[in-house]
Amino acid sequence: MNNDFTFAIIKPNAVKHKKTGPILAMINEAGFCICALKMTLLTKIQAQAFYMVHRGKPFYDGLIEFMTSGPVVALILSRENAVEEFRKLIGETDPSRAENGTIRKIFAVSVQMNAIHGSDSPENAVKEAAFFFSEFERFYHQEH
Ligand code: IDP
Ligand code: MG
């Protein structure tokens, strides 16, 4: 399994509050290359499909409503050990438990509106990247 890329979404709260630029700067400073990027507004059907694993959980309906409330920025990011390193960079799901200096600690406003998504495994990074990007929209092999 290719472990050199991960998939991320800058969530609606962060896009709306003009945090896309600061978050992308942090991502680049942490050594990630941007291989693919698009701003898009998810439909309810798309958000439900993307978060299918959480169906039935108490936070699911609110999460779908939030993720469709405004545009998001989807990203494919590369670096060594990308999935694990990116999860470290974003911090815990609950921002009150996230370490200082992490993206969620800095930009999240609640557990739900926690600013950013990052894939939790290389397998899911492959699936999630395919959900948003065709092969023609990906630019791997940039110099690190
Ligand atoms: P992750 O994004 O850190 O992988 P998951 O457990 O996969 O966390 O949850 C997906 C998303 O659902 C979270 O990023 C957050 O936006 C939302 N979420 C998770 N747990 C809660 C909760 O207890 N209350 C409200 N929203 C939640
Ligand atoms: Mg998750």
Residue type at position 95: P
pLDDT > 90: percent of the chain: 94
Confidence of residue 141 (pLDDT cuts 50, 70, 90): confident
SS3 34: strand
Q: What is the mean pLDDT of the chain?
A: 96
Q: Which two tokens stand for residue 97?
A: 């438990």
Which 3 state secondary structure label does DSSP give 75? strand
144 is catalytic: no
pLDDT in tens, 101-130: 999 999 999 999 999 999 999 999 999 999
Give the helix ranges, DSSP H, for 51-136: 60-67, 82-90, 103-107, 122-132
112 lines ligand 1 (CB under 6 A): yes
To test the ligand 1 pocket, which listed residue (11, 61, 93) has its Cβ within 8 A of the most ligand atoms? 93
Q: What is the pTM of this model?
A: 0.97
